[in-house]
Amino acid sequence: MSAFAIRQPLSAVSSKKVADKLLRATAALHKHLCPRQVLGVRMGVYAGRLLGIDLPQQDKRLIAFVETDGCFTDGVMVATGCSLGHRTMRLIDYGKVAVTVADTKVNRAVRIWPSAGSRQLAAQCAPDAPNRWQAQLDGYQRISDEELLAHAWVDLELSLSAIVGKKGVRVNCDICGEEVLNGREHASAGRSICSHCDGQSYYRPVAK
């Protein structure tokens, strides 16, 4: 059975929402389709349904906060139209297959993750699958949104306006001289300082 084979979901709602073209688009990014890509697509489409917004978006209204990287993230990207390149996706690395999609226009957000019994349901929906991986690949495409996914409306503990930043704003760090974009500099004693020079860095120089 080809990994590119697209299964018909069980529910009419899901069959309308999970389009073949979205699954094929995310499969094309990896030259195969895997269960987590399917979950990413399903979560992204479900977010649009819950928020009442047609997806993939053509503007920058939505911001997606993905809680792990990898193929799942590409599924979310294809379904929602949110991406790092458009500055509408952020990685909050909790190591979880989950996403929070925030509507910047009305300031509300929904978090979505797989239901506790999603893997068991997948196995039941694909009893002839040769292994668990294939059962999840097939089953995740067949299960209804309500059975496959859980969701909760949430308030963000961060500022959407701060995340969006200030487009076109550029300053040079007064310590290292490197350019800082989108208002990401820190103000200290009347100086503009980058995160690294302000002690908030993910790297440190080494001696040659």
State the pLDDT at residue 19: 63
- Which residues, 6 or more positions from 36, have their beta carbon under 8 angstroms from its beta carbon? 70, 71, 72, 75, 97
Q: Using an 8 Å Cβ cutoff, are 189 and 204 in contact?
A: no
State the pLDDT at residue 183: 87
Please give the domain boundaries of the chain with CATH numbers for all domains.
12-161 (3.30.1330.130), 166-208 (3.30.60)
Pairing of strands 62-66, 89-91: parallel
State the pLDDT at residue 12: 40
Q: Calculate the alpha carbon distances from 104 to 40, 83, 88, 156, 180 in Å.
A: 21, 15, 10, 11, 24
Reduced to 3 DSSP states, what percent helix, strand and coil does the chain have, rounded to the nearest 5? 35, 20, 45
Q: Using an 8 Å Cβ cutoff, are 47 and 21 in contact?
A: no
Preceding omega of 130 cis (within 30 degrees of 0): no
Residues with pLDDT less than 50, the chain = 1-17
- Which residues, 6 or more positions from 26, have their beta carbon under 8 angstroms from its beta carbon? 33, 37, 40, 41, 71, 74, 75, 77, 78, 79
State the pLDDT at residue 10: 41
First to last CA, the chain: 54
Nearest Cα residue to 53 out of 12, 4, 104: 104
State the pLDDT at residue 188: 87
* Rounded Cα distance, 154 and 141, in Å: 26
Between vectors from CA 53 to CA 143 and to CA 102, what angle results, nearest 5°?
90
* Rounded Cα distance, 15 and 118, in Å: 18
- 75: phi then psi, degrees, rounded to nearest 5: -60, -45
State the pLDDT at residue 197: 95
